[in-house]
Amino acid sequence: MTVVNQNMNVGVNIKRTADNQRNIIPITDFDAPQLDVYARLTEVQLLNRHEPEKGIFIAESPRVIERALDYGCIPVSILIETRQIETLGKDIIARCGDIPVYTAEFDVLTQLTGFQLTRGMLCAMYRPTKKTATEVCMGARRITVLENVVNPTNVGAIFRSAAALGIDGVLLTSACSNPLYRRAIRVSMGTVFQIPWAFLPEKHWLNMLHELGFSTAAMALREDSLCIDAPQLLQEDKLAIIFGTEGDGLTAETIKACDYTVRIPMARGVDSLNVAAASAVAFWQLTRV
């Protein structure tokens, strides 16, 4: 994996601002290796499973970058539209210390990255230390579990709803899209840095939840499902709300092992909601304790 080297300046012009001596580096060469993290490395390469301590993620937009900084994430470099340096990006650049700030006009950045930057700013950051599932569950009363949710847009949307509607933590099976994929972070509006989350062990994770005192509610459309407003659900002191993959939903094994099977009533012949939409409904109803 290629990692940004803060001492390299191949293919760029360096100038120092008079007031703070921070590197402001105009982009002159799209092939400069410092730009790999923004333009050429895949999400898998950024994740860097073999050396996780060197893993990097990309935060997009000033608000998301601020939330990542508030969480304690360490910035590596910034890619920013030139006109934003003294406006939206000014305070963030000041918070990031003496790291490279690569800059160009908006059209150049769009050509480099292959998409239009949200509010003209990206920040490469080291991935934070992973939490364990047990750590996420400590002190929690309402958590959600995602089983094999593979679409990063759905993962990001679920995080945003979880943070907004009072969920204490998110747990994911290993087949889920990583919450620190760029699209997931962007869709979540940075709430992946505001709510605790962790990946579950490969096996027996339902047993682990039960051992930690959680009752488990499988969100599934079955004849014997409880309606989501069933009073016994709100009476549970600790509840894990479990959602399955897009399309197929939860596995039969998971549904069988849960304490409850829960459904959201549908009208007009609609068979189900998208998993992200369903999560928002469930979180609103089941956190009213």
Query: Model's pTM, two decimal places?
Result: 0.87
Write the CA distances from 163 to 99, 156, 191, integer angstroms: 31, 11, 6
pLDDT by 10s per residue, the chain, length 289: 333 333 333 344 434 443 444 589 998 877 888 888 888 888 888 888 777 778 999 999 999 999 999 999 999 999 998 989 999 899 999 999 999 999 988 787 877 776 656 668 899 999 999 999 999 999 999 999 999 999 999 999 999 999 999 999 999 999 999 999 999 999 999 999 999 999 999 889 999 999 999 999 999 988 789 999 999 999 999 999 999 998 889 999 999 999 999 999 989 988 889 999 999 999 999 998 7
Q: How far is 206 from 250, CA to CA, in rounded Å? A: 13
Residue 253, C-beta contacts closer than 8 angstroms, at least 6 positions apart = none
What are the phi and psi torsion angles at 171 (to 5°)?
-120, 140
Q: Taking the mean position of all CA atoms in its chain, how far away is CA 287?
A: 21
Q: Which of 215, 218, 196 is nearest to 278 (CA)?
A: 218
Amino acid making up residue 194: Q
In single-letter form, the type of residue at position 135 comes to E
